[in-house]
Structure 1
């Protein structure tokens, strides 16, 4: 059975806490927070963990660049302790432009190779109480000899999920991760033709089974009394994600190359209305659930069954913060257990 979560990607810290408290009370299995130019996944998840006692908490995603391996390992160690072992550490690199422009990374080549070097190193740093950690790699050089006794972490292993869109980054999950965080624009066709083979290739490289890698999906969800309004809100979020040129191959592999081209053209013209208009019904139905309460309840199982864990979240592109908050509350109420 697919477990269910909620993702918070908009609003401030207090609102993030309130949403997580409501989700726990409603019986959701997990709550996730990402980060952006104005949002910290680490601080958000700390607040979420402190405000709850049962619900799983996770970063989806925290940037794996911009933090040293030791800082990232210790952030995860303390988040896991704060949550009494409820943490899943979700990591990603973002695009090359984000790595260079946002995080000041000098060597933005090989993001998949970077992740494959980082994650085993994090696991070694969580065992620093066992002795020195020395590592000389392409992206990281670490030489740490503990000078005092170090307590072992709450859990010897913290689940680490990695985000992946292109095949090579998806392979990372197969090689070294406990799970793959699938992008909201993933479709049935993309999962079958690209994701599953890439996970299997990665797993074969390190002698693992593909079944060892869990799939976490992010499902756009818009609920309103008016079906057309809800679908337009969901379409706006899809258009926002598809606009970057990097997602062209993903859309082509899913059969939506024409829609993606039209979205990019409208994006470069600054025409939000045309961007949204370019999202076809078939595209929307593969990437979101949107409509009345009954309609989203009926539609969710078809998308949710793809994943081991499905995290719902509200669109926010072009929406007022009040509408995002209203829709998030509607998601919690609609899918309360």
Structure 2
């Protein structure tokens, strides 16, 4: 089992806050630092200091870390043209020495689009399909050749398909809870399928859909990494768990049911259940970015018991 730290900086974090978490992530031995790609706080609360751009942040972290992998869970197709996104991600991958992964999705938070003047088409799945085709094809085009594409939403003519990422192929993450189009999209383009915040008991069926889609497309389903993202609130005793849950506006009982909450032994047992359901990688959603002791506790008391 691999463990990645997953942050939601739109809730209130500066670049320096994210840098501190990323460097703690690296120091404590976690596999990766990921962040959401949003431009507006969700729910009530102080919006300061305002949003940070995901790929600008990751470019900075690429130069201020050396081991951990870096990525988005997930970037929205509404924010960037696919050609621009391919350039941004390839450049950050070069800057990191080949440690970047791209999570790409349809986007869903209409309010943030209105707040910053970003168009929000009502139907976005076909846009995601075209963006995945374009971005991965730009990276895969042989040096010296050009790439062209004509679809419903985008047209590229004789693109030099540059720059190239350091990794070939660069890992792409597709996720969601769809039962038909999403599994096929993941099987066609992704190296990892992620189910964010799954309803209890649904993971095996969602993973099975992707495995069947891989077989349908002639791909070995074991080539895919199967992952989930869950909010975490861990502590050495119930008082600490309750304090960490309260700090993010959640209840311990609810988090025990829908996330990873409790003492080390409770969470180790929960991770064992996830492993039995087919999970190979867990994104630990850490919402209080100033509580670095939380990361230290997880790294010391939980990961050694369940990590690979």
The one of 274, 285, 309 equivalent to 2:256 is 285
SS of 1:105's equivalent in the other structure is: coil
Corresponding position: 1:309 with 2:281? yes
Hey, what does 1:202 align to over in structure 2? 213
Question: Is 1:181–2:153 an aligned residue pair?
Answer: no
| CA gap 1:212/1:225 in 2 versus in 1, 3 angstroms | closer
On the 8 A contact 1:222/1:234 being kept in 2, the answer is: yes
| Counterpart-to-counterpart distance in 1, 2:125 and 2:180 | 7
The structure-2 alpha-carbon separation of the partners of 1:80 and 1:9, relative to structure 1 and needing over 3 Å to count, comes to same
Equivalent residue for 1:108, pick from 116, 119, 122: 122
Deviation per CA, 1:83-124: give whole Å up to 9, x if none: 111111111222273696467336431x33322222121122
CA distance in 2, matches of 1:303, 1:154: 33
Structure 2 residue aligned with 1:79, among 82, 88, 92?
92
Residues 99 and 209 (structure 1), Cα distance of their counterparts in 2 relative to 1, 3 Å cut: farther
Residue aligning to 1:247: none
Q: 1:151 to 1:70 in 2, by over 3 A?
A: closer
> How many residues matched?
286
SS in 1 for 2:197: coil
Q: How far does residue 202 in structure 1 lie from its aligned partner after superposition?
A: 3.4
**Pairing partner for 1:67 from 80, 102, 110:** 80
* Contact kept in structure 2, 1:163 and 1:169, CA below 8 Å: no
Note if 1:213 corresponds to 2:224.
yes
How far apart are 1:182 and its partner, in Å? 1.6
Other-structure match for 1:158: 170
Map residues 255-294 of structure 1 onto 2, 5 A cutoff.
281=253, 284-294=255-265
Equivalent residues of 2:98, 2:166 under 8 A apart: yes
The secondary structure found in structure 1 opposite 2:18 is: helix
Task: Please state whether the residue corresponding to 1:124 is helix, strand or coil.
Answer: helix
Partner of 1:81: helix, strand, or coil?
helix
Q: Residue 167 of structure 1: SS of its match in structure 2?
A: coil
Higher helix share: 1
1:174 and 1:198 in contact (8 A); partners too: no
Distance 1:285 1:131, change over 3 A: same
Asked if the contact 1:117–1:137 (Cα under 8 Å) also holds between the matched residues in 2, the reply is yes
13, 16, 31: which one aligns with 2:15: 13
Runs of 5+ in structure 2 lacking a partner? Answer: 40-50
* Aligned residues of 2:90 and 2:163 also touching (Cα < 8 A): no
Deviation of 1:295 after TM superposition, in Å, equals 4.0
Partner of 1:257: none
Distance between the aligned counterparts of 1:93 and 1:87, measured in 2? 20
TM, length-normalised to structure 2 = 0.78
Cα deviation per residue 1:102-156 (whole Å; 9 max; x = unaligned)?
Answer: 67336431x333222221211221237332221111221111344xx95644233
Q: Which residue of 1 aligns with 2:147?
A: 133
CA distance in 2, matches of 1:223, 1:141: 48
Rounded Cα–Cα distance in structure 1 between residues aligned with 2:215 and 2:19: 40
CA distance 1:87–1:139, shift in 2 (3 Å): same
Counterpart of 2:28? Answer: 26
Match of 2:134 in 1: 121
Closer, same or farther: CA 235–174 of 1 in aligned 2, 3 Å: farther
